[in-house]
């Protein structure tokens, strides 16, 4: 039987470098002989990508409605993309996953934790990443990086207090689940961060 693949997620606030590091990790894992799927949230499956357009392009959602949309997209992503890849023995590298909803909607927008937990039970069906890499940097620095890219979404336009709560949320997740999560200093250069990620992957997942 084919051994189940490994599931690695990258998390953090705006401009933390998640997409860059996901690409670099994909390349490194492929060079080590793994079949790798790199994906993202919201998105990663046709239906989920359609919901992504709503979430990033339109504001004014009720906070719980927004949380529901994220988990609807996530359910499609898990069922259509992530679980089939893992079952086939492939490694999945994902730019954002459920921890982003915890940080942005629960910590950032005050969605009640029981709502998040109930939706996670239904949408994830027990799926938990093997390793979560949380890229941490001050929100102002991350937002400046995001602005320099020239592509913005509505989350980046929210007030500094929101982004501070999101950062606190990610840090709280790292403290609560140290076996699964690792907090990395994203103020370092991309090469340094990539090297730290590879050391963590090798140490924790072999």
Q: pLDDT digit string (tens) for 77-110?
A: 999 999 999 999 999 999 999 999 999 999 999 9
For residue 147, the model assigns a pLDDT of 78
Residue 73 in any domain: the answer is yes
What SS3 string covers the chain? CCCCCCEEEEEECCCCCHHHHHHHHHHHHHHCCCCEEEEECCCCCHHHHHHHHHHHHCCCCCHHHHHHHHHHHHHHHHHHHHHHHHHCCCEEEEECCHHHHHHHHHHCCCCCHHHHHHHHHHHHCCCCCCEEEEEECCHHHHHHHHHHHCCCCCCCCCCHHHHHHHHHHHHHHHHHCCCCEEEEECCCCHHHHHHHHHHHHHHHHC
How far is 41 from 147, CA to CA, in rounded Å? 20
CATH number at residue 194: 3.40.50.300
Q: What is the domain range of residue 48?
A: 7-205
Instruction: Please give the tally of structural domains in the chain.
Output: 1
Residue 2 in any domain: the answer is no
Residue 78 in any domain: the answer is yes
- Record the pTM: 0.95
Q: What's the whole-number mean pLDDT along residues 189-196?
A: 96
Residue 1 in any domain: the answer is no
CB-based contacts of 37, cutoff 8 Å, min separation 6: 81, 82, 85, 90, 91, 92, 93
For residue 205, pLDDT over 70 is answered with: yes
Residue pair 48/41 in contact by the 8 Å Cβ criterion: yes
For residue 58, the model assigns a pLDDT of 73
Residue 168 in any domain: the answer is yes
Residue at token pair 């140490």: 203
Cα dihedral value 22, 27, 32, 36, nearest 10 = 60
Q: pLDDT digit string (tens) for 139-185?
A: 888 888 877 877 677 887 788 899 999 999 999 999 999 999 999 99
Q: pLDDT digit string (tens) for 21-80?
A: 999 999 999 999 999 999 999 999 999 999 999 998 877 889 999 999 999 999 999 999
Residue at token pair 């996901």: 22
CB-based contacts of 31, cutoff 8 Å, min separation 6: none
Residue 72 in any domain: the answer is yes
């Amino acid at each position: 039987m084919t051994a189940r693949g490994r599931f690695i997620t990258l998390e953090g606030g705006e401009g933390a470098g998640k997409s860059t590091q996901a690409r670099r990790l994909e390349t490194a894992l492929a060079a080590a002989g793994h079949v790798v799927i790199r994906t993202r949230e919201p998105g990663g499956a046709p239906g989920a990508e359609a919901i992504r357009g709503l979430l990033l392009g339109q504001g004014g959602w009720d906070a719980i409605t927004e949380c529901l949309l994220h988990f609807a997209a996530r359910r499609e992503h898990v069922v259509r993309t992530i679980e089939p890849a893992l079952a086939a023995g492939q490694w999945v590298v994902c730019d954002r996953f459920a921890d982003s909803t915890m940080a942005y909607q629960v910590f950032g927008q005050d969605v009640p934790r029981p709502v998040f937990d109930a939706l996670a039970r239904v949408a994830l069906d027990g799926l938990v990443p093997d390793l979560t890499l949380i890229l941490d940097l001050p929100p102002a620095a991350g937002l400046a990086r995001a602005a320099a890219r020239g592509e913005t979404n509505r989350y980046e336009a929210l007030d500094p207090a929101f982004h501070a709560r999101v950062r606190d949320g990610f840090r709280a997740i790292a403290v609560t689940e140290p076996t699964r999560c690792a907090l990395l200093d994203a103020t370092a250069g991309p090469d340094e961060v990539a090297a730290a990620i590879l050391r963590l992957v090798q140490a924790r997942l072999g």
